[in-house]
Amino acid sequence: MLLDLASNLLLLAGGFFFCAGTVGLLRFPDVYTRLHALAKADNLGLGCLLAGLALKADSLVQAIKLLAIWPLVLVASAVVGYAIAHRADQLGITPWQRDDR
Amino acid sequence: MIRGKSDVKIMIGCLLRRTVGFALVWWVATEGNFTAWPLAVIAVAVTVAVSLRLLPPGSTPGLSLSGMAGFVGYFFRQSIRGGFQVSRLALQRQLQLRPAILELPVTLPTGLPRLLLIATLGLMPGTLGVRLEDDLLYLHVLDTGLPVVEETAQLSGHIARMLGVNR
Amino acid sequence: MIGSELLLALLLLVNLGAALVRAAQGPTAADRMLAALLFGSTGVGILVLLAVIQQTPALIDVALTLALLAAISGIAFAQRAWSQAVLGRRRGTASKTEDGDAA
């Protein structure tokens, strides 16, 4: 019972972070800030989602398998995120700056 | 390469650890279903052989297990914080971003330590590695008011401890 | 039970669609590269949810394989493309990829 509740809360949190990531992607002003939003929020969302599903898994080993996906995606996001930022910098895209000084 | 008794000991320990490790991977990947156990034996044996060839025992001298635990713990904690923070920034009614590019000196040695630093920074709160040039790290930050310099130093410290290098 | 997961999967699909449209609009080439990140996280999330909804555990293997391939290709890319700037040591491969983004 309690496990189910925790699982559903985690799934809800996962959905929330995925939405926050998308909102950030839509609202943030340049590619660097959008990268921040996607990389961090979506990965936390996926972590919550996997943890929530792992709590509902049929067996311990299936739960471990679900959770094993997370570090792999983290590694991929970290490297791809840096690759995109680096490429943007090479293309000469200047970061957006607040102009209220 | 194997000379003394201690080398044999290291070799056997390494062999055991890797066999158990890859067997665990098989266990997880098949969800504990061992009907294909002959295949598992072959797969684990071949994997251990290949791993010994590509990463001979003793080729990562400085690697510390406690340092690795420290790094992994710090990384998970910080990436959760980073997710919360960027979600808050995205959902605020008025965008409160004050992005900037910071230049920080890097003292970690070239190679894996630096690569690890610049890649993991993208998942830490408010930071994104952009470029690394002549021991200078160009870091994009979401908000100049965040304590990114201190946190980058902490992250470098964890990486240095894990890999057994100087920071 | 299954209902909440189905709703969540739909929500992720809407997210993925909106984000893809946004990424495709650009304006820069780097913006369009964000799609690579999207499939890594949102795509894997949808696959795992589908595995539960359709009671097809094989889809978990698909998600795991996708994540594994993404991680491995990321590492391989890092080793080859940044060997000069970041990895310093590997001179042999560094000379082949002068430009950081040749690969």
Q: Are residues B73 and B148 in the same domain?
A: yes
* Complex confidence, ipTM: 0.86
Say which residues have a Cβ less than 8 Å from residue A41's Cβ, sequence separation at least 6: A17, A18, A20, A21, A24, B83, B86, B87, B90
- Which chain C residues in 24-83 lie under 8 Å from chain B, judged by CB atoms? 57, 61, 64, 78, 82
Q: Are residues B25 and B82 in the same domain?
A: no
Q: Are residues B44 and B97 in the same domain?
A: no
Q: Are residues B40 and B90 in the same domain?
A: no
Q: What's the rounded mean pLDDT across residues B26-33? A: 87
Q: Are residues B111 and B36 in the same domain?
A: no
Q: Are residues B88 and B124 in the same domain?
A: yes
pLDDT for C95 equals 37
Question: Nearest-CA neighbor of C5 among C58, C45, C63, C62?
Answer: C45
Q: Are residues B23 and B91 in the same domain?
A: no
Q: Are residues B82 and B107 in the same domain?
A: yes
Is B59 part of any domain? no
Q: Which of A9-13, A34-38, C84-88 has the lowest mean pLDDT?
A: C84-88
pLDDT of A21 above 50: yes
Q: What's the rounded mean pLDDT across residues A13-17? A: 92
Distance from CA of C6 to the nearest CA of A (A): 11
Q: Are residues B19 and B90 in the same domain?
A: no
Q: Are residues B12 and B77 in the same domain?
A: no
Out of A39-48, B100-109, C1-10, give the one with best mean pLDDT: A39-48
State the Cα–Cα distance between residues A15 and A47, nearest whole angstrom.
Answer: 11
pLDDT in tens, chain C (103 residues): 567 888 889 999 999 998 888 888 878 888 888 888 888 889 999 999 999 888 888 899 999 999 999 888 888 877 777 665 555 444 443 333 344 443 3
Q: Are residues B81 and B43 in the same domain?
A: no
B109 touching chain A per CB within 8 A = no
Question: Nearest-CA neighbor of A85 among B158, B12, B142, C1?
Answer: B142
What pLDDT digit, counting tens, does each position of B38-91 carry?
999 999 999 999 998 888 877 777 788 888 899 999 999 998 999 999 999 888
| Number of domains into which chain B is organized | 2
Q: Which domain holds residue B137?
A: 65-163
How many alpha carbons fall within 13 Å on the CB side of residue B97?
29
Q: Pick from C1, C22, C28, C37 the residue to mutate for testing the A interface (most A CBs within 10 Å).
A: C37
Query: Which letter does DSSP use for residue C95 in this model?
Result: T
pLDDT for C2 equals 63
